[in-house]
């Protein structure tokens, strides 16, 4: 069963409908549901399990906001079809925990971690990067090591024009 079929199975089992796509990436696809929630169907079980564990940990700690960033709230999930259902959030927010690790960072070399952080750093302004660092530190207090800092995952409010 592919991700779209698994997403349909999730919806059928809960008697909800898909409304519109909210996004997609290398880890999965996200849709708005008729319950005004976001449904994320994952392409790989490993990524699903990592993201589910992050959302479970944050849910169990009643975290809806970290360092000023809204965090989607876990509503439901299904281990058989690798779908997570969560609240829809708006900027400032942090999304996508598929590349996060729980309790210990991945076993990358110091050089690889430095290179990755520098690449991420270049995607944000100086002020934004300070806030990205704060939200990552807040996540680490919950044992979550976040490795996908980019503007589509850590969103800031748009400046009024």
> Bridge-partner residues for 154, per DSSP?
94
pLDDT tens-digit series, residues 82-95: 999 999 999 999 99
Q: State residue 105's pLDDT score.
A: 87
Is residue 133 exposed (0-12), middle (13-18) or buried (19+ Cβ within 10 Å)? middle
pLDDT tens-digit series, residues 94-124: 999 989 999 988 888 999 999 999 999 999 9
Q: The whole model's pTM is what?
A: 0.92
What mean pLDDT, rounded, does the chain reach?
95
Ordered domains of the chain (ranges, CATH): 3-155 (3.30.200.20)
Beta carbons of 30 and 39 less than 8 angstroms apart: yes
Please identify every stretch of the chain with a pLDDT value under 50, giving residue numbers as ranges: 160
Kindly write down the DSSP assignment for every residue of 35-69, as one continuous string: TSEEEEEESSHHHHHHHHHHHHHHHHTT-SEETTE
């Amino acid at each position: 069963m592919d991700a779209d079929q698994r997403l349909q199975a999730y919806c059928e089992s809960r008697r909800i409908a898909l409304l519109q796509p909210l996004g997609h990436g290398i880890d999965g696809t996200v849709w708005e549901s008729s319950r005004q929630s976001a449904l994320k169907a994952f392409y790989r079980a490993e990524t699903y399990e990592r993201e589910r564990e992050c959302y479970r940990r944050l849910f169990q700690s009643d975290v809806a906001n970290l360092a000023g960033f809204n965090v989607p709230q876990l509503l439901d999930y299904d281990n058989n079809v690798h779908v997570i259902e969560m609240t829809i959030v708006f900027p400032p927010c942090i999304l996508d925990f598929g590349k996060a690790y729980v309790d210990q960072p991945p076993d990358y070399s110091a050089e690889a971690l430095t290179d990755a952080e520098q690449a991420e750093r270049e995607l944000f302004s100086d002020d934004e990067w300070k806030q990205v660092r704060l939200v990552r530190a807040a996540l680490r207090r919950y044992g979550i090591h976040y490795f996908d800092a980019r503007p589509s995952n850590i969103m800031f409010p748009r400046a009024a024009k």
